[in-house]
């Protein structure tokens, strides 16, 4: 009898605001196998994962354990798929054991509570993840590596045969990165989990997954073993980066950046028959010195510091040019009120702190969500009015990622904005759709941060 694939994807396409961001993606995965998805920002990695998890509308077919996801309830999906997002919403005051116990929710009746079997399952999961000593610790007290282990433990506690990891190591130092990936590799072999991970680090992608899928502009460029996909030529073509490829003694490859021969990525050109050809890179045209220049959409994202700070610098430039400027902050307010607000108001900048602070400070997430929805309503009205030359939407990506604000509505508002309205968006985990429509998208990378050494954020420096 033929074994059904744990995951089978056939002709998956995703469109947001009538713009296709993933096209005709197909692959299959057995239990115990690991697929690593790589590609430049905006390639479609996170979008594909959300579609496979049943969290995003799509065309084509997605089958889990042989069953189409469009015929499953959310509870049935949660019993098959566990998701570890890039930026999980973790209640800071909840204990580790309480948080991991949440993973049993899909197995409870609608009015039921956890029973002794659920609690025993949670105890076993904590032991396997070497978290028993942290049972009564609050989530907010954990280090980055400990917290990520707890997040993965919650996912494993669902008992689902499929594990989706969206950039699981992006906020960790190199030691904790290896610890998390080694743990996932052990668990998928021991439990027979089918694993899909979106990965930025090409060396990690070259050493852990069985198969690597290289994506670009929502299309699959190559799929296969790492040594066949992660070649120096392919990385130069699709990332514009010069690298050296080194074979690892235990199998797989490492990708080492080199400063020589860097160039612009090749251009993907779609033929009339729907196939794609790669064209050589061309020099960008020189902008005329005079004449009408259209407005820009700029996105500052990534896990490094400085996303908002850079945007505030642009704000000051715009104000100095006598532009009409407005700032709408989605989650920073109260104790996190930034120092730039005072001087910006003195310059006549309209500044709305509509957020309810960072969610980890929130006392009521429903009120925080309502504040974010109110902030988006104000932002949408400000953009569509055409009154402002420069609109800064600070930390907008958070409520989009959490599903509090409809991404399609955000994208259509930004795409259809009056031609003179410049918009800057900041925040971690910018979606593929947002990056795709941006004129400029910059990723801030954290190399080192004082917070990792226990030094808290400081007024006058961090905010």
Q: Which helix (H) or strand (E) element contains residue 128?
A: helix 116-128
pLDDT of residue 269: 60
Tens-digit pLDDT profile for residues 117-136: 889 989 999 998 889 999 99
> Residue 428 phi/psi, 5° resolution?
-65, 160
pLDDT in tens, 385-406: 888 999 999 989 988 888 888 9
> Residue 282 above 80 pLDDT?
no
3-class secondary structure, 414: helix
User: Phi and psi at residue 70, in whole multiples of 5°?
Assistant: -75, -5
Q: Between helices 407-415 and 365-385, what is the axis angle to 10°?
A: 20
Task: Give the model's confidence band at 353: pLDDT under 50 very low, under 70 low, under 90 confident, else very high.
Answer: confident
Contacts of 126 (CB under 8 A, 6+ apart): 96, 97, 100, 132, 134, 135, 153
Q: Give pLDDT, residue 88.
A: 78
Confidence of residue 10 (pLDDT cuts 50, 70, 90): very high
Domains and CATH numbers, the chain: 7-225 (3.40.50.300), 297-453 (3.40.50.300)
In the predicted model, is pLDDT for residue 96 greater than 90?
A: yes
Looking at per-residue pLDDT, the higher value among 121 and 336 belongs to 121
Strongest mean pLDDT among 226-230, 354-358, 425-429 = 226-230
Judge whether residue 458 has pLDDT over 60: yes
R_g (Cα) of the chain, nearest Å: 23
What angle (nearest 5°) sits at the alpha carbon of residue 55, between those of residues 54 and 57?
85
Q: Which two three-digit tokens encode residue 240?
A: 């514009």
Residue with tokens 């973790």: 90
What pLDDT score was predicted for residue 289? 43
The predicted pLDDT at position 287 comes to: 44
Task: Work out the pLDDT band at 371, boundaries 50, 70, 90.
Answer: confident
Q: Which residue stretches of 364-431 are H helix? A: 365-385, 397-401, 407-415
Report pLDDT digits (tens) over 296-317: 999 999 878 889 889 999 999 9
Lowest mean pLDDT among 61-70, 235-244, 338-347: 338-347
Average pLDDT of the residues of the chain: 84
Q: Residue 413 has what pLDDT?
A: 94
Backbone φ and ψ of 133, nearest 5° = -70, -10
Confidence of residue 449 (pLDDT cuts 50, 70, 90): low
Does the pLDDT at position 290 exceed 50?
Answer: no
**Each residue's pLDDT tens digit, 429-447:** 899 889 999 999 998 887 7
């Amino acid at each position: 009898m033929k074994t059904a694939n744990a995951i089978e994807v056939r002709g998956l396409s995703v469109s947001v605001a009538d713009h296709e961001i993933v096209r005709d993606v197909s692959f299959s995965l057995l239990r115990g196998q690991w697929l690593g998805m790589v590609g430049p920002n905006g390639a479609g990695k996170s979008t594909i994962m959300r579609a496979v998890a049943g969290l995003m509308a799509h065309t084509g077919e997605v089958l889990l354990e042989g069953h189409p996801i469009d015929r499953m309830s959310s509870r049935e999906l949660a019993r098959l798929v566990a998701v570890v997002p890039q930026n999980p919403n973790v209640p800071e005051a909840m204990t580790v054991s309480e948080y991991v116990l949440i993973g049993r929710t899909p197995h409870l009746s609608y009015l039921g509570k956890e029973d002794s079997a659920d609690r025993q399952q949670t105890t076993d999961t904590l032991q396997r993840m070497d978290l028993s000593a942290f049972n009564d610790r609050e989530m907010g007290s954990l280090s980055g590596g400990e917290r990520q282990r707890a997040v993965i433990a919650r996912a494993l506690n669902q008992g689902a045969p499929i594990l989706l990891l969206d950039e699981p190591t992006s906020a960790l130092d190199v030691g904790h990165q290896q610890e998390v990936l080694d743990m996932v590799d052990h668990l998928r072999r021991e439990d027979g989990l089918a694993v899909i991970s979106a990965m930025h680090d090409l060396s990690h992608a070259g050493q852990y997954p069985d198969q690597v899928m290289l994506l670009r502009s929502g299309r699959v460029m190559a799929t296969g073993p790492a040594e066949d996909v992660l070649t120096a030529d392919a990385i130069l073509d699709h990332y514009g980066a010069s690298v050296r490829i080194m074979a690892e003694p235990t199998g797989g490859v490492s990708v080492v950046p080199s400063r020589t021969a860097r160039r612009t990525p090749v251009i993907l050109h779609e033929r009339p028959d729907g196939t794609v050809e790669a064209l050589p890179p061309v020099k960008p045209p020189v902008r005329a010195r005079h004449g009408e220049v259209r407005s820009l959409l700029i996105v500052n994202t990534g896990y490094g510091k400085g996303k908002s700070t850079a945007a505030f610098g642009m704000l000051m430039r715009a104000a100095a040019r006598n532009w009409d400027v407005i700032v709408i902050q989605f989650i920073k307010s109260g104790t996190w009120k930034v120092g730039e607000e005072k001087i910006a108001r003195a310059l006549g900048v309209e500044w709305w702190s509509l957020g309810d602070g960072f969610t980890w400070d929130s006392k009521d997430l429903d009120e925080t969500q309502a504040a974010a929805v109110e902030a988006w309503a104000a932002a949408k009205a400000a953009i569509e009015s055409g009154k402002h030359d420069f609109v800064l939407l600070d930390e907008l990506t958070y409520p989009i990622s959490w599903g509090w604000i409809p991404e399609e509505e955000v994208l259509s508002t930004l795409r259809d904005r009056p031609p003179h309205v410049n918009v800057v968006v900041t925040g971690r985990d910018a979606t593929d759709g947002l990056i795709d429509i941006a004129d400029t998208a910059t990723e801030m990378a954290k190399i080192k941060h004082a917070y990792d050494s226990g030094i808290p954020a400081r007024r006058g420096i961090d905010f």
